[in-house]
Amino acid sequence: MVTHTSVLVIRHRSRPRSSSLPGMFESPAEIERLQELLDASYAAAGSHMESIHSPRVRITAEELAERLPGMQVFVVATTTRDGRPRTGPVDTFLYHGDLCFGTAATALRARHIARNPAVSATHVQGEGLVVTVHGTARSLDLGGADRHFAEFLRGHYGEATFDEHLDAAPYYRIAAERMFAADMTRHLPAD
């Protein structure tokens, strides 16, 4: 599914992820970098966050990579010129340890990011998975340095669909400053 500002709905093809870790794109070094980010984020968290995301419910970087295969819908927050928050769902991929997403070139979201690239994004699967990231949206160069990601997207959406609808769309990598990930069902009493 494409959640850009159009009404176009695309069914994606499942594609196995390729990496040295089964089912993931992330290399051991990328998993380690992601784990360091999670650890640093929790170390800097306030008491309220720590009380909710206790060590018992936090998931590791490797668990996170295993639980975010393929396309996932994240709600990305940007701000208007006068600082009002705006959120919207976008197709998001965990790719080599970074969250990457796209939007339509004509979307307000793209203008917001061009003016102020600070973003927050959240993904929730019931209580089983809660992921929040805060950082800066960095433009991807799908025709150049980030061509490998463009090829991945072509494989995911299909070449014709990508070339017709998504090739000119802006894509971003979230340069994460903070990331939190938890399985809140771990708070539930055992049966």
In this prediction, residues 115-125 reach a mean pLDDT of 97
What string of DSSP letters covers the chain?
---SSS----PPPP----SSSTT-S--HHHHHHHHHHHHHHHHT--HHHHHHS-TTTB--HHHHHHHS-SEEEEEEEEE-TTS-EEEEEEEEEEETTEEEEE--TTSHHHHHHHH--EEEEEEEETTTEEEEEEEEEEE--TTTTTHHHHHHHHHHH-HHHIIIIITTS-EEEEEEEEEEEE-GGGGSPP-
Q: What is the mean pLDDT of the chain?
A: 88
Q: Cα separation of 41 and 136, whole Å?
A: 15
Count how many residues are written for the chain.
191
Residues 6+ apart with CB under 8 A from 36: none
pTM of the model: 0.86
Question: Would you say residue 124 has pLDDT above 90?
Answer: yes
Query: What confidence category does residue 22 fall into, taking pLDDT thresholds of 50, 70 and 90?
Result: very low
CB distance 131 to 102 below 8 Å: no
Query: What confidence category does residue 87 fall into, taking pLDDT thresholds of 50, 70 and 90?
Result: very high
Task: Return the domain boundaries, the chain.
Answer: 28-185
Query: What confidence category does residue 25 fall into, taking pLDDT thresholds of 50, 70 and 90?
Result: confident
CA distances to 33, 41, 182 from 56, rounded to whole Å, are: 21, 16, 9
CB distance 162 to 113 below 8 Å: no
Question: Would you say residue 5 has pLDDT above 70?
Answer: no
Residues 6+ apart with CB under 8 A from 164: none
Q: Which CATH architecture has domain 28-185?
A: Roll (2.30)
pLDDT of 9 reads: 36
For 135-179, write each residue's pLDDT tens digit: 999 999 999 999 999 999 999 999 999 988 887 899 999 999 999
Question: Would you say residue 24 has pLDDT above 70?
Answer: no
